[in-house]
Chain A
Amino acid sequence: MSDNTNPTHKPVLLAAKQVAKHFGGVKALRDVSLTIRQGEIYGLIGPNGAGKTTFFNCMTGLYIPDGGGFDFTGTPLVADAPDQAAARGIARTFQNIRLFGNMSALENVMVGRHVRTRAGVIGAMFNSAATRAEEAAIRERAMALLHYVDIAERADDLAKNLSYGEQRRLEIARALATEPKLLCLDEPAAGMNATETGELRELIEGIRGDGTTVLLIEHDVKLVMGLCDRVAVLDYGALVIEDVPAVVQNDQRVIEAYLGA
């Protein structure tokens, strides 16, 4: 939609401020600070065990940081409240796909609408007009999202019966159903072949095109460098660099982190 080639002048969407997290004696995150601006595709890379997923989990409220915190759209995020993070507009996928296996693909996405809808138990029991209308809207929106990620024909199949690639797409659709301002994808290309990765890339660009900011954790350096507006590199829980891909790629410390580990 808008010109995204130079998003550095856009307002800050998420600011991590000296986020620290340790497990026992292991320092998983050492005072990590970074900023994600509205409308950009932001890549977070680093060797295995660098703390990428830990950072994600702190941001989305699954972990309580031991130090520092996050500002989202200018106000602090409450730690330890994943449902509030989702309500504020942060949605995520998981490295090892976490779908609701025994629910249909459509129902999975409908669950994603939970946080943007209201109907309660009483409305459901009496099947009130308001509930019916909301339910129809949820279903319609969920179906549209399945079309968007191109798995509409699997709507009635149980999520656990979908193929790997379809499950990845379904997880993205479910996250999009929460109407996120920031969509966080944890290694979405893991286990994908070149064709599938290409399709994923188009999907992510499309999502950004619709105005959603994307945070991408990825191992596939080629994908990240080609897709992201800015990239941050974590190593041993510390931020090494945060810059545009061209700079990051040629940074000596980054090369060492990847080769020297």
Chain B
Amino acid sequence: MDIFLQQIVNGLVQGSIYALVALGYTMVYGIMGLINFAHGEVVMIGTLTAITVAGSLLAAGMPPALAGLAALIVATLLCMALGWGLERIAYRPLRNAPRLTPLITAIGMSIILQNLAMILWGRNYQTFPPLFPKVNFELAGVHFTAVQVIIVLLSAATMLSLTLLVYRTKLGMAMRATAQNPAVAGLMGVNSNRVISAAFVIGSALAALAGIMVGAYYEIAHYQMGFMLGLKAFTAAVLGGIGNLLGAMAGGILLGLIEALGAGYIGDLTGGFLGSHYQDIFAFMVLIVVLMFRPSGLFGEKTGDRA
């Protein structure tokens, strides 16, 4: 039972991070139907920027809390600019191109960002500076750290604000309208360019936040870290029903839990035949099974054939 609860906590933490990244995928997909493959790299840039900023400020003698805040602000602003630029330079000229064209562009941008990061930060693993107090809690036999608590609370708050933004503000309404029907939204006076830019910028801000969390949680970062993380987060978005904000959040948390429980129990389940290194398989297996029964994801709308 202790293992079970422990894995639930671990899954929740990992799932919160997936959820934040998944939101970026789902917003962009919902509005323009594009799988933004470069989104994972934005997370990576966020982590590495935060490491550089916080590291140098700490070295200069700044207190950890301030250094952390500065790192958060710089990384978020940089990622927002990056997201905005990505859309502006790479994707916007391709609005009316064949369906797979922007996908290849996204892959190209992903390769570019990864190698740019490698040139800037090098091939080696970077260590995340000690920003958070190393405190451990124990509750009902379950151990958790301050970082874990912060991650879960901060992502919950972020997701709540995003939901409010999308469902309570004018910009949010414009975003939902554009997702429903860009042409009609345009006729109604919605500036679709601005809405799409907003989706990229907000998604990138969430990515930066997630990037810092990943860095703080695992304490190391690397120029290739964005790829698998992005892939998992995209899987989470699809699991929940891509294009659906709530689905992305639920999908992210669910994926985190499935992976954690899977890693904890796969050995017992298969009589020791499969070990915990099959953890990555779980995400995809669950995805395939879910989509077999719910072709539009858990929370996706049913799309009937319209003749």
Contact = CB atoms under 8 A, between A and B. Distances in A.
- Chains A, B in direct contact (C-beta < 8 Å): yes
Interface in B252-307: 305, 307
Interface string A45-58: 00000000100110
A204 to B, nearest CB: 21
Contacts of B305: 62
A98 B307 CA distance: 9
A100 interface: no
Contacts of A56: 307
A56 B307 CA distance: 9
Nearest to A23: B304
A87 to B, nearest CB: 18
Contact-residue bracket for chain A: under 10
The A contact surface, by secondary structure, is loop
Interface string A238-259: 0000000000000000000000
A171 to B, nearest CB: 13
Contacts of A62: 305, 307
A95 B305 CA distance: 14
A57 B307 CA distance: 7
A160 to B, nearest CB: 13
A56 B305 CA distance: 13
Contacts of B307: 53, 56-57, 62, 94-95, 98
A51 to B, nearest CB: 13
A94 B306 CA distance: 11
Interface string A163-177: 000000000000000
B175 to A, nearest CB: 25
A94 B305 CA distance: 13
A53 B305 CA distance: 13
A219 B214 CA distance: 61
A119 to B, nearest CB: 28
A175 to B, nearest CB: 14
Interface string B57-99: 0000000000000000000000000000000000000000000
Interface string A86-97: 000000001100
Nearest to A94: B307
Contacts of A95: 307
B100 to A, nearest CB: 14
Interface in B139-189: none
Interface in A68-97: 94-95
A244 B305 CA distance: 34
A62 B305 CA distance: 7
B306 to A, nearest CB: 9
A53 B306 CA distance: 10
B302 to A, nearest CB: 11
Nearest to A98: B307
A53 B307 CA distance: 8
A248 B305 CA distance: 33
Contacts of A94: 307
A158 to B, nearest CB: 14
A57 B304 CA distance: 12
A95 B307 CA distance: 8
A98 B305 CA distance: 13
Contacts of A57: 307
A62 B307 CA distance: 8
A174 B307 CA distance: 17
B29 to A, nearest CB: 24
A127 B307 CA distance: 36
Interface in A28-75: 53, 56-57, 62
B235 to A, nearest CB: 30
A62 B306 CA distance: 8
A44 to B, nearest CB: 15
Nearest to A57: B307
A92 B185 CA distance: 33
A194 to B, nearest CB: 28
A113 to B, nearest CB: 22
Nearest to A56: B307
A206 to B, nearest CB: 26
A105 B307 CA distance: 21
Nearest to A92: B307
A179 B307 CA distance: 22
A57 B305 CA distance: 10
Interface in A94-124: 94-95, 98
A215 B185 CA distance: 37
B245 to A, nearest CB: 23
A94 B307 CA distance: 7
8 contacts: A53-B307, A56-B307, A57-B307, A62-B305, A62-B307, A94-B307, A95-B307, A98-B307
Given A56-B307, A62-B307, 6 more contacts: A53-B307, A57-B307, A62-B305, A94-B307, A95-B307, A98-B307
Interface of B: 305, 307
Nearest 7 A/B pairs, CB to CB:
A57-B307, A62-B307, A62-B305, A94-B307, A53-B307, A56-B307, A95-B307
